[in-house]
Structure 1
Amino acid sequence: MAAKWIEMVTGSLEQKKQYKQYQRRLEALPEPYRAAAKAVQRYLMYAGGVVDGETLVTMNGDLVDLWERAAADGTPVRDIVGENPAEFAEDFARAYTGTQWIDKERARLNKAIDDAERGEPE
């Protein structure tokens, strides 16, 4: 019972466990893969806009898988991210559909305009 209440407040405990597992795997990567993966992950957290926990966990798992494979194969970091790492990260994020923070703001803007058109106050 307490777990359900806690999850209602904080979100899925299972997703948090998965996220922490992915973080441990990321920390275990050899350099320069660890530094590159952490930089891409940080960028995704700010620019990816994903707020849906399930999508975020999946995206992080796939990111760690990508860097683990690159490290195992000895693939150079630039061969993964290319000449524009921000573009790589944004393309990576676009592959994951889910609720993004901007979706809420779009809905809020649309409602505000509809209300204004009808003469209703905010």
Structure 2
Amino acid sequence: MSDTEKSGLISKLIGPKKRWKAYKARVKELPESHRTAVEAIERYLMHFVPTDADSSASMFEDLADLFEQSAADGTPIREIVGEDPVEFVEAFVQNYSEGGYVPARARKRLTDDIERAAGEDAGE
């Protein structure tokens, strides 16, 4: 294996891992309601994760960007994801991959988790 090949392999293995850790640190700093929503969306997105590590990392970084800005602006969860979180996530992910099979159970969990996050956001 040449040095160039080794370098490419290392960046594929280490780069995305560093990006993932940075993403998780950003999510941890969000207000509780926004963090709950991002974590619910994250679980759902695992069904769609692109095979390309850079696309996958970009997708999660963009999700963090969206929720960081929304939290800074005081935007409620429902204004971010709308009334149908499944529709929101499926539209969001289309920018990154063709998507995958999502079982009904995952869709229900996402909807329930966003409902809980929106309730936290409203102080319920």
Q: Same fold (TM over 0.5)?
A: yes
Q: TM-score, normalised by structure 2?
A: 0.69
The answer (yes or no) to whether the contact 1:50–1:101 under 8 Å persists in 2 is no
- Give 4+ residue runs of structure 1 displaced > 4 Å after superposition: none
Question: Across the two proteins, how many residue pairs are aligned to each other?
Answer: 98
Deviation digits for residues 83-116 of structure 1 (CA, Å, limit 9, x no counterpart): 1101100100001247x678xxxxxxxxxxxxxx
SS in 2 for 1:12: helix
Identity %: 42
Q: Which runs of 5+ in 2 are unaligned?
A: 102-124
TM-score by length of 1: 0.70
Largest Rg, 1 or 2: 1
Task: Quote the residue 2:43 is aligned against.
Answer: 42
Deviation per CA, 1:49-97, whole angstroms, max 9, x where unpaired? Answer: 4121010000010000000001000000000000110110010000124
Q: What is the CA–CA distance in structure 2 between the aligned matches of 1:11 and 1:27, rounded to whole Å? A: 24
SS in 2 for 1:43: helix
SS of corresponding position for 2:55:
helix
Quick one: higher RCO (CA 8 Å, sep 6+), 1 or 2?
A: 2
Give 5+ residue unaligned stretches, structure 1. Answer: 103-122
What residue is the counterpart of 1:94 in the other structure? 94
**In 1, are the aligned partners of 2:30 and 2:68 still within 8 Å (CA)?**
yes
